């Protein structure tokens, strides 16, 4: 069962103060409404992973890591590699997160990231077959939310994109007799083949104000959000509305405009860190 979450209680005084700042076009940390917080990237934080990256978006911290395995393709895509995305809200990240298997929020996050990668064909899965129909690369992409200060989807997508972009495939040797495949992780040459970069931009709605990249405090006041995956080419590669509230038809022009422009910005940033 999906259940209405508890609404965080925000004292009226604070609420009014925040609304006042927002209505002047600024976040409570003085950024303009349509600007992201400072983004810090730490690469290779988990050397045992095939690729890993820590993304700090303000105080939000997301750890994305990849394990590569050789496995079987899906029967309906026998010649393609497999990408599996999981996400977890680590209980360290917020007093309200509980230990246990991923809840609906973590599952939704993982599935939104997954679709934002899959639908615009970010990873060239068709180049990841080793023995077509039998053995393909399986990419396990795991996202851990370590500290929650708002805007988890965009931070996670940056982490996912960077973890993929950094990944180098290890050398493999196929024994011609037994057909056994050995991975030699000490040798990494080929970068994972990517078709394009994608970023997500999540637009939040607080009363009638649209904004991006809220802190946790601001996010608690939002009634709804809409995440758009934006491709390098300026297309929309995925959408997800979330939250107890709604958007009005007329708000969509503005939402698309913001998403396209900020998405472009984020993709530039991701590309810089990839070098």
Q: Which of residues 172-211 bind another protein (CB under 8 A)?
A: none
Instruction: Select from 50, 218, 219, 232 the one that contacts another protein (CB under 8 A).
Output: 50
Query: Does 154 contact another protein by CB under 8 A?
Result: no
Q: CA dist 204 to 17, 117, 163, 173, 246, Å? A: 18, 22, 26, 49, 11
Helix (H, G, I), strand (E, B) or coil at 198: strand
Query: Does 73 contact another protein by CB under 8 A?
Result: no
Instruction: Select from 19, 26, 41, 67 the one that contacts another protein (CB under 8 A).
Output: 67
Residues 216-245 that bind another protein (CB under 8 A): 216, 226, 231, 234-245
Instruction: Select from 18, 27, 61, 201 the one that contacts another protein (CB under 8 A).
Output: 61
The distance of closest approach from Cβ of residue 24 to another protein in the complex, given in angstroms and rounded to an integer, is 25
| Distance separating alpha carbons of residues 81 and 5, to the nearest angstrom | 37
What character string, x for contact with another protein (CB under 8 A) and - otherwise, covers 116-145? ---xx-----x-------------x-x-x-
| Distance separating alpha carbons of residues 220 and 7, to the nearest angstrom | 8
The distance of closest approach from Cβ of residue 199 to another protein in the complex, given in angstroms and rounded to an integer, is 14
The answer to whether 254 and 204 have CB atoms below 8 angstroms apart is no
Of the candidates 211, 93, 217, 209, the one whose C-alpha atom is nearest the C-alpha of residue 156 is 93
Query: Does 256 contact another protein by CB under 8 A?
Result: yes
Residue 110 neighbours by CB distance under 10 Å: 21
Query: Does 37 contact another protein by CB under 8 A?
Result: no
Query: Does 107 contact another protein by CB under 8 A?
Result: yes
Is 164 exposed, middle or buried, given 0-12, 13-18 or 19+ CB atoms closer than 10 A? buried
Query: Does 94 contact another protein by CB under 8 A?
Result: yes
| Distance separating alpha carbons of residues 39 and 197, to the nearest angstrom | 18
Stretch touching another protein by CB under 8 A, among 11-19, 28-36, 64-72, 203-211? 64-72
Helix (H, G, I), strand (E, B) or coil at 85: strand
């Amino acid at each position: 069962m999906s259940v209405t979450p508890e609404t965080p209680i925000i004292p009226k005084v604070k609420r009014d103060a925040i609304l006042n700042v927002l209505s002047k076009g600024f976040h409570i940390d003085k950024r303009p409404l349509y600007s992201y917080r400072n983004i810090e990237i730490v690469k290779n934080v988990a050397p045992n992973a095939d690729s890993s990256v820590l993304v700090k978006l303000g105080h939000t911290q997301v750890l994305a890591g990849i394990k590569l395995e050789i496995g079987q393709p899906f029967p309906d895509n026998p010649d393609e590699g497999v990408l599996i995305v999981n996400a977890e809200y680590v209980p360290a990240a917020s007093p309200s997160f509980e230990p246990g298997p991923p809840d609906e929020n973590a599952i939704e996050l993982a599935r939104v990231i997954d679709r934002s990668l899959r639908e615009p064909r970010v990873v060239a899965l068709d180049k990841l077959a080793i023995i077509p129909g039998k053995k393909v690369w399986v990419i396990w992409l795991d996202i851990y939310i370590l500290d929650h200060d708002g805007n988890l989807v965009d931070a996670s997508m940056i982490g996912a994109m960077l973890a993929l972009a950094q990944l180098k495939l290890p050398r493999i040797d196929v024994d011609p007799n037994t057909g056994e495949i050995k991975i030699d992780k000490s040798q990494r040459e080929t970068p994972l083949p990517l078709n394009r970069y994608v970023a997500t931009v999540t637009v939040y709605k607080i009363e009638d104000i649209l904004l991006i990249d809220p802190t946790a405090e601001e996010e608690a006041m939002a009634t709804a959000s809409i995440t758009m995956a934006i491709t390098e080419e300026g297309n929309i590669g995925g959408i997800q509305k979330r939250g107890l509230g709604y958007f009005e038809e007329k708000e969509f022009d503005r939402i698309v405009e913001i998403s396209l422009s900020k998405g472009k910005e984020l993709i530039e940033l991701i590309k810089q860190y990839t070098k």
